Amino acid sequence: MPLALYALTAGAFGIGVTEFVIMGLLIEVGGDLGVSIPAAGLLISGYALGVVLGAPIMTIATARWPRKTVLLVLMGIFTLGNLACALAPDYWSLMAARVLTAFAHGTFFGVGSVVATTLVAPDKKASAIAIMFTGLTVANILGVPFGTWLGQGFGWRATFFSVTAVGVAAFAIIALFVPQDKEKPAPSNLKQDLAVLARPQVLLGLLTTVLSWIGVFALFTYIAPILTRLAGFSENAVSPILLVFGGGLVVGNLVGGRLADRWLLPTVLGSLAALAVVLFLMTFAVHSQIAVVAFVALLGAVGFATVPPLQMWVLEKAHGAGQSLASSFNIAAFNLGNAIGAWLGGAVIDHGGLASVPWVAALAPLAALGVALCAIRLDRARVPVPAPAE
């Protein structure tokens, strides 16, 4: 794999730390800015909604630019946004800075996915996407725990200053190693680009992505209380168990990419089915400490095994004009799933308790599997059947 691909991984790492590190600093942020922990938690939702809004806006605004230029501008926005977070004087300033930073997220991964597929042979495109997304998984294993430790020891602002430094480094790496476009970008036609999004197969692909990650985040958002209140772990044990989850993310991401290169549709369907099964079985595993740790690793693996095939699937459905826009929308779809999943998990806890979260979460990827099957059936119906030879 070319060095340019790992430059994209570096950018993905920085963005991943920014998105998730706030989860470990809610107490510190809330105490310093004088807001409740639930209010501090809205900084997570604000970021996710910023991704959903920013993906189409930034992708359309930069459609005529060379892709390397787009990536560099987005890393600049990311870096300045994190600096603004570190310097935010109050809660609403921090919220605004988080939303600003999130505007870079969807388009970076959307355009980055397209760039990644141009850097490798046709039979390695899904693996290239997986390697870029490895930056996101490594952020969960290394960046988030380190950022949490740094914020707890030196103040939450120190964490955002450090992520700002990561942004500067990623900007330099992308500038050095990502090649310029071999050809000038084709003139952008917004009407044609939006027409791609109106294709039933693309819409069904985006819906599949949303539903799959509703299931992941309905459970993962509340993994700490599930581990402590249902499985009986101490609060100190949560962080090491989350490292196990992060390890599963890395393995699942890379395996999902490899499998998608060989068998894209079977990997899409198989990963969704596996995610539904793992979430359902966690209903029983949460009462055993050994079993729940194993299933946390499995959740990370099957959850991120869906990412490369779903991203590649949408790219294939949006072939030609509008590919970058569709790719960015799919990243927004992952984040919309995150936001809805967190809300769904909370609603389930309010009405049915923590123990009901896993089996309810399993219904979402099961629905995603049904939508994916409908999309495949629609594809086959559109393929003309050759007339029999006379």
The answer to whether 189 touches 63, Cβ cutoff 8 Å, is no
pLDDT at site 186:
57
pLDDT at site 336:
87
pTM exceeds cut of 0.85: no
Q: Which residues contact 31 (CB under 8 A, 6 or more apart)?
A: none
pLDDT at site 212:
94
The answer to whether 104 touches 81, Cβ cutoff 8 Å, is yes
CA distance 178 to 174: 5
Task: Please count the CA atoms within 13 angstroms of the CA of 100 that sit on its side-chain side.
Answer: 17
The tokens for 302 are 């099957």
CA distance 341 to 184: 40
pLDDT at site 189:
65
**Could you list the pLDDT tens digit for every one of the 390 residues in the chain?**
677 888 888 888 888 888 878 877 777 888 899 988 667 777 877 888 888 888 888 888 888 888 889 999 999 999 999 999 999 999 999 999 999 999 988 888 888 888 888 888 888 888 888 888 888 878 877 777 788 788 888 989 999 999 999 899 989 988 988 888 766 555 556 677 677 777 888 899 999 999 999 999 889 878 878 888 899 988 778 778 878 888 888 899 889 888 988 888 999 999 999 999 999 999 999 999 999 999 999 999 999 899 889 988 888 887 665 677 787 788 888 888 887 887 888 888 888 888 999 999 999 999 999 999 999 888 777 654 444 444
Q: Name all domains of the chain by residue range, CATH numbers in brackets.
A: 1-183 (1.20.1250.20), 189-385 (1.20.1250.20)
pLDDT at site 184:
59
pLDDT at site 382:
67
Q: Is 183 exposed, middle or buried (0-12, 13-18, 19+ CB in 10 A)?
A: exposed
Q: Where are the alpha helices (DSSP H) in the chain?
A: 3-20, 26-33, 37-61, 67-87, 91-118, 125-138, 144-154, 156-177, 190-197, 200-220, 223-225, 238-262, 264-285, 289-305, 307-317, 323-352, 357-382
Q: Is 384 exposed, middle or buried (0-12, 13-18, 19+ CB in 10 A)?
A: exposed
pLDDT at site 389:
47
pLDDT at site 91:
93
CA distance 312 to 128: 10
The tokens for 150 are 């740094």
pLDDT at site 373:
94
CA distance 107 to 52: 10
